[in-house]
């Protein structure tokens, strides 16, 4: 095993801390951006759903079909499309957040893995000293 | 024999005086005893012709042979008795000296006299000498024993069997016969015994040498060499025999055994130290392992907590998304009321299933990531045990190597000890052998030295004898020579006196004759000298007259003749005044007087004659002519001489670094011509001289 010495390990600790911090910052910024995008997309979907819902009775009224069964069916289709649009926004946001969670998990794994390897390298150095008979 | 007894008595006196030193005992009566014995022995050996001049006993006249046998027998008996007395005296002297402070054998210097040398005694030699002294003496005499020995010495029967001896009533002093022996009585008794003596029959046997005297009882006299001092060779062997060396072999073996024990102890100490070191290292490895496990456990727990929090957050968000989707569908249904178709329900079913699927997918993804993280963590957490195991393995190998090295060193050291022990024991044996060889060698050298010393002494003794003989002969020759010399001197003086007288007479006569002849010769010499002076004056006057005549004739003839006569130019003669001509004439007359005229001129064959012939020439020419004559003298070969003459003349013409010589060819030719003339004159003169000599010799021969 090629474990680093103390000098290499010191620089490695700095690098790991830096990468961990920058990684957390990137993840946090991405989360905030996803939150804003999610809010904007939900707002747009709700605006489109509201405008469609307000325009539908007028269209059927002009045709004289507001009291027909078609108007009821049209409302059911419009409600289904609205739910699809809302799920689409939620699913997109959830997918983006899952990617960020994976990156966060990887970042944590790298940080603790490096620290543990440093500890092992330090112990190995001491093992190398202790595995010889000294004083004879 | 009597002389030998006296010598030994004298030795006893000397030893007593030397050993006793200031003690009056050894120097007075004891020495007197020796002297008395010696004197008695001397008397005893001269009984036949000693004492009163009494005639031999007419009762039993003895033949000369019987007389001689009687004397020999008495002498032998006396010698034997004297020897016994001397032994007793020596014993007495030894005892007395031993009891005297500072005496021989009691001082700090334990020396023994061997021959003419004193050597230091060893303890063994001293013990042996003491035993021999006790055996030879009378068994440790005390004061009574000494007195008894003295009485024996003074007893008349011990002095050659003489009887009737009695002590003198009046002592004779401290010198001879200090024991107051009545010598007159001894003399009478001796004479009586001599008269009554019947000589025993004496048989002499030569092999072994002994003399048997037939008497009652028969007595055998064996001629033995007197006991002398111990040989130096025995002393040397005894001294060197005491030298020995110690054997260190057992000490070497014991030391080697101790070294082996020490080596094993040191090896055991090293093994124990190695075990302690290994134990300490093992503890250190365990400590490192435990510390690493603790550190890794803490870090892994942190990691697991963080990742679990992340998984929980994802699960919560998935549940919230699914719950929101369900709530939205519920709200939409409530808004639609009674639905106339299934358009909405189909969409609601798809949306609900999709939301549930996405939530499950998110949670499964985080679960897989957590599982992978756990696998990596398990791998890392196994590292401490693996590293500790490897370290303990390496430590065991190191321990094994050290153990092997210690065992190997111990084995090699023990093997080296065995070899070293064998080598040192062998060296010890060789050292002892060398010591013995050296001791024997030194003993041999000492023995050889003793032999050389003895030989040297013998040679020196012979040399001294030869020297004495030579000196005696030389002295005799000197005396003879002196006598002859004196006689010859007397004869020579007589002859010399006669010759002197004759010589004086002849000398006087000759002196008178010489004085007479000398006076006559002086008178004759004076007359001849006066005649010679007169003749010389006459010759000078005649030469001057003849020269004046020749000058006058030449001047009277003409100027040319006069100029030729004076060897000057005619014009110069003519310009000369009368005074100058007179001066020239006077000079010419003086030259004529010096050179001679006629029979008085310089003879032919001389350089002056040649110069006279050619007065106008440069005087240097004659120097060169003389040099050419010198070349002839130095070079007997005419050819070589001629060549060197030519070289000389050529040299006169050459010009060298110092400038030209200034002679021309004509001048050198003139020098050569003059040389030829001069050489011819010389040869003529020599030839004439030889002819005259031969003529004279032949004339003398004819006259004879």
* Per-residue pLDDT band at B35 (split at 50, 70, 90): very low
Most confident of the following: B15-19, B56-60, B484-488: B484-488
Q: Is A54 on the interface with B (CB under 8 A)?
A: no
Tell me which chain B residues have a C-beta less than 8 angstroms from the C-beta of A115.
Answer: 299
- The C-alpha angle A114, A116, A120, rounded to 5 degrees, equals 115
- Please compute the mean of the pLDDT values over residues B213-239 and round it to a whole number: 69
- Cα–Cα distance between A2 and A19 in angstroms, integer? 22
Most confident of the following: B27-36, B96-105, B671-680: B671-680
Report the pLDDT value the prediction gives residue B213, as an integer from 0 to 100: 58
B261 vs chain A: nearest CA distance in angstroms? Answer: 21
CB-nearest partner of B358 from A80, A91, A120: A91
Phi, psi of B213, deg, nearest 5:
-105, 115
Report the pLDDT value the prediction gives residue B419, as an integer from 0 to 100: 93
Per-residue pLDDT of A47-98, as tens digits, reads: 999 999 999 999 888 888 888 888 889 999 999 999 999 999 999 999 999 9
- pLDDT at B577 > cutoff 50: yes
- pLDDT at B509 > cutoff 70: yes
CB atoms within 10 A of CB B688: 12
Interface of B with A in 245-304 (CB under 8 A): 270, 273-274, 277-278, 281, 284-285, 288-289, 291-292, 295-296, 299-300, 302-303
Interface of B with A in 312-331 (CB under 8 A): 313-314, 317-318, 321, 324-325, 328-329
Report the pLDDT value the prediction gives residue B85, as an integer from 0 to 100: 63
Report the pLDDT value the prediction gives residue B128, as an integer from 0 to 100: 54
List the one residue out of B587, B578, B570 whose CA is nearest residue B562. Answer: B570
In chain B, % of residues over pLDDT 70? 68
Report the pLDDT value the prediction gives residue B176, as an integer from 0 to 100: 44
Report the pLDDT value the prediction gives residue B456, as an integer from 0 to 100: 92
Q: Return the bridge partners of B203, or none.
A: B212
Per-residue pLDDT of B366-425, as tens digits, reads: 999 999 999 989 988 999 999 999 999 999 999 999 999 999 999 999 999 999 999 999
The ipTM (two decimal places) reads 0.84
Report the pLDDT value the prediction gives residue B617, as an integer from 0 to 100: 81
Query: Dihedral of the CA atoms B261, B264, B266, B268 (nearest 10)?
Result: -140
| Local structure of B246: helix, strand or coil | coil
Report the pLDDT value the prediction gives residue B22, as an integer from 0 to 100: 36
- Please compute the mean of the pLDDT values over residues B501-507 and round it to a whole number: 90
Report the pLDDT value the prediction gives residue B211, as an integer from 0 to 100: 58
Structure tokens at B215: 């008497």
Segment (H or E) for B242: none
- For all residues of chain B together, what is the average pLDDT? 77
Report the pLDDT value the prediction gives residue B94, as an integer from 0 to 100: 67
- pLDDT at B142 > cutoff 70: no
Neighbour-count burial of B133, counting CB atoms closer than 10 A to its CB (0-12 exposed, 13-18 middle, 19+ buried):
middle
Buried b (16+ CB within 10 A) or exposed e, A33-62: ebeeebeebeeebeeebeeeeeebeeebee
Tell me which chain A residues have a C-beta less than 8 angstroms from the C-beta of B336.
Answer: 75-76, 79
Interchain CB distance below 8 Å, B310 and A86: no
| Chain A, nearest residue to B325 by Cα | A87
CB pairs under 8 A between A and B: 167
Report the pLDDT value the prediction gives residue B123, as an integer from 0 to 100: 52
Q: Is A132 on the interface with B (CB under 8 A)?
A: yes
Report the pLDDT value the prediction gives residue B429, as an integer from 0 to 100: 95
- Which range has the worst mean pLDDT, B146-160, B330-344, B487-501? B146-160
Report the pLDDT value the prediction gives residue A36, as an integer from 0 to 100: 96
- pLDDT at A11 > cutoff 70: no
- Cα–Cα distance between B474 and B569 in angstroms, integer? 99
Neighbour-count burial of B606, counting CB atoms closer than 10 A to its CB (0-12 exposed, 13-18 middle, 19+ buried):
middle
- Please compute the mean of the pLDDT values over residues B649-664 and round it to a whole number: 76
Look up residue B602 and give its DSSP letter: P
Report the pLDDT value the prediction gives residue A77, as an integer from 0 to 100: 93
- Cα–Cα distance between B9 and B322 in angstroms, integer? 163
- Which range has the worst mean pLDDT, B313-317, B420-424, B429-433, B653-657? B653-657
Tell me which chain A residues have a C-beta less than 8 angstroms from the C-beta of B281.
Answer: 130-134
- pLDDT at B281 > cutoff 70: yes
Report the pLDDT value the prediction gives residue A86, as an integer from 0 to 100: 94
Q: When comparing pLDDT for B93 and A37, which is higher?
A: A37
Query: Alpha carbon of B237 to those of B133, B212, B229, B279: distances in Å?
Result: 21, 39, 15, 72
Report the pLDDT value the prediction gives residue A55, as an integer from 0 to 100: 92
CA atoms within 13 A on the CB side of B31: 21
Tell me which chain B residues have a C-beta less than 8 angstroms from the C-beta of A84.
Answer: 347, 350-351
- Please compute the mean of the pLDDT values over residues B524-535 and round it to a whole number: 88
- Cα–Cα distance between B694 and B49 in angstroms, integer? 102
- pLDDT at B447 > cutoff 50: yes
A interface test, pick of B300, B301, B306, B338 with most A CB neighbours within 10 Å:
B306
Query: Dihedral of the CA atoms B418, B421, B426, B429 (nearest 10)?
Result: -150
Q: Return the bridge partners of B393, or none.
A: none
Most confident of the following: B76-85, B218-227, B283-292, B563-572: B283-292
Tell me which chain A residues have a C-beta less than 8 angstroms from the C-beta of B347.
Answer: 79-81, 83-84
pTM, to two decimals: 0.40
Buried b (16+ CB within 10 A) or exposed e, B295-331: bbeebbeebbebbeebbeebbebbeebbeebeebbee
| Local structure of B114: helix, strand or coil | strand
Per-residue pLDDT of B171-204, as tens digits, reads: 444 444 444 556 677 667 767 766 776 655 656 5
* Per-residue pLDDT band at A133 (split at 50, 70, 90): confident
Cβ-Cβ contacts under 8 Å for B106 (sequence gap 6 or more):
B97, B98, B100
Report the pLDDT value the prediction gives residue B126, as an integer from 0 to 100: 57
Q: Are B650 and B672 in contact (CB under 8 A)?
A: no
Per-residue pLDDT of A37-47, as tens digits, reads: 999 999 999 99
Name the pairing type of β-strands B201-205 and B219-222: unpaired
Q: Are A38 and B321 in contact (CB under 8 A)?
A: no
């Amino acid at each position: 095993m090629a474990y680093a010495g103390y000098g290499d390990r010191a620089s490695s600790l700095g690098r790991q801390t830096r990468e961990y911090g920058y990684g957390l910052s990137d993840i946090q910024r991405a989360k905030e951006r996803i939150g804003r995008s999610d809010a904007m997309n939900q707002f747009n979907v709700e605006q489109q759903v509201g405008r469609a819902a307000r325009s539908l009775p007028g269209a059927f009224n002009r045709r004289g079909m507001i009291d027909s069964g078609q108007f009821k069916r049209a409302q059911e289709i419009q409600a289904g499309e609205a739910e699809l649009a809302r799920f689409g926004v939620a699913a997109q946001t959830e997918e983006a957040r899952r990617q960020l969670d994976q990156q966060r998990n990887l970042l944590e794994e790298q940080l603790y893995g490096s620290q543990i390897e440093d500890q092992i390298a330090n112990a190995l150095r001491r093992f190398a000293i202790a595995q010889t008979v000294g004083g004879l | 024999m009597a002389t030998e007894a006296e010598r030994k008595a004298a030795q006893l006196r000397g030893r007593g005086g030397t050993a006793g030193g200031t003690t009056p005992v050894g120097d007075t009566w004891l020495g007197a005893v020796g002297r008395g014995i010696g004197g008695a022995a001397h008397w005893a050996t001269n009984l036949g012709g000693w004492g009163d001049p009494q005639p031999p006993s007419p009762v039993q006249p003895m033949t000369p042979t019987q007389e001689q046998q009687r004397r020999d027998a008495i002498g032998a008996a006396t010698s034997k008795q004297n020897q016994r007395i001397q032994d007793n005296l020596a014993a007495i002297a030894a005892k007395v000296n031993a009891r005297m402070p500072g005496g021989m054998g009691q001082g700090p210097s334990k020396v023994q006299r061997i021959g003419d040398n004193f050597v230091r005694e060893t303890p063994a030699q001293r013990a042996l000498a003491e035993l021999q002294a006790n055996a030879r003496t009378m068994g440790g005499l005390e004061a009574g024993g000494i007195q008894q020995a003295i009485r024996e010495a003074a007893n008349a029967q011990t002095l050659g069997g003489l009887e009737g001896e009695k002590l003198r009533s009046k002592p004779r002093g401290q010198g001879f016969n200090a024991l107051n022996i009545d010598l007159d009585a001894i003399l009478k008794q001796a004479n009586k015994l001599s008269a009554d003596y019947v000589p025993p029959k004496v048989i002499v046997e030569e092999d072994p040498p002994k003399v048997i005297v037939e008497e009652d009882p028969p007595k055998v006299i064996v001629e033995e060499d007197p006991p002398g001092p111990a040989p130096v060779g025995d002393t040397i062997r005894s001294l060197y025999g005491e030298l020995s060396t110690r054997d260190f072999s057992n000490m070497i073996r014991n030391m080697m055994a101790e070294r082996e024990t020490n080596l094993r102890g040191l090896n055991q100490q090293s093994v124990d130290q190695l075990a302690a070191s290994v134990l300490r290292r093992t503890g250190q490895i365990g400590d490192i392992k435990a510390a690493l496990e603790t550190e890794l456990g803490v870090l892994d727990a942190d990691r697991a907590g963080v990742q679990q929090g992340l998984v929980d957050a994802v699960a919560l968000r998935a549940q919230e998304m699914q719950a929101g989707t369900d709530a939205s569908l519920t709200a939409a249904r409530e808004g639609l009321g009674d639905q106339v178709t299934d358009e909405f329900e189909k969409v609601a079913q798809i949306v609900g299933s999709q939301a549930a699927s996405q939530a499950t997918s998110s949670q499964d993804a985080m679960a897989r990531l957590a599982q992978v993280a756990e696998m990596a963590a398990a791998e890392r957490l196994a590292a401490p045990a693996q590293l500790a195991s490897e370290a303990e393995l390496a430590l065991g190998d190191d321990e094994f190597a050290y153990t092997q090295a210690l065992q190997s060193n111990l084995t090699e050291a023990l093997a080296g000890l065995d070899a070293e022990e064998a080598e040192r024991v062998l060296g010890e044996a060789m050292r002892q052998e060398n010591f013995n060889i050296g001791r024997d060698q030194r003993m041999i050298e000492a023995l050889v030295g003793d032999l050389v010393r003895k030989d040297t002494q013998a040679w020196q003794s012979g040399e001294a004898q030869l020297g004495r003989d030579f000196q005696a002969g030389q002295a005799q020759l000197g005396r003879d020579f002196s006598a002859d010399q004196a006689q010859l001197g007397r004869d020579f003086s007589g002859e010399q006196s006669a010759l002197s007288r004759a010589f004086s007479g002849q000398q006087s006569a000759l002196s008178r004759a010489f004085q007479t002849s000398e006076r006559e010769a002086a008178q004759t010499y004076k007359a001849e000298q006066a005649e010679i002076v007169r003749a010389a004056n006459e010759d000078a006057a005649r030469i001057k007259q003849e020269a004046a005549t020749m000058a006058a004739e030449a001047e009277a003839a003409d100027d040319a003749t006069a100029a030729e006569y004076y060897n000057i130019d005619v014009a110069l003669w003519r310009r000369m005044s009368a005074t100058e001509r007179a001066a020239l004439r006077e000079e010419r007359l003086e030259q004529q007087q010096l050179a001679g005229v006629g029979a008085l001129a310089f003879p032919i064959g001389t350089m002056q004659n040649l110069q006279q012939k050619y007065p106008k020439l440069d005087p240097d020419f004659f120097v060169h002519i003389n040099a050419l004559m010198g070349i002839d003298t130095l070079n007997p070969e005419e050819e070589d001489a001629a060549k060197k003459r030519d070289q000389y003349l050529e040299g006169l013409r050459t010009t060298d670094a110092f400038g030209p010589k200034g002679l021309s060819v004509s001048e050198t030719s003139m020098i050569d011509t003059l040389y030829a003339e001069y050489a011819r004159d010389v040869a003529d003169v020599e030839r004439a001289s030889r002819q005259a000599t031969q003529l004279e010799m032949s004339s003398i021969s004819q006259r004879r």
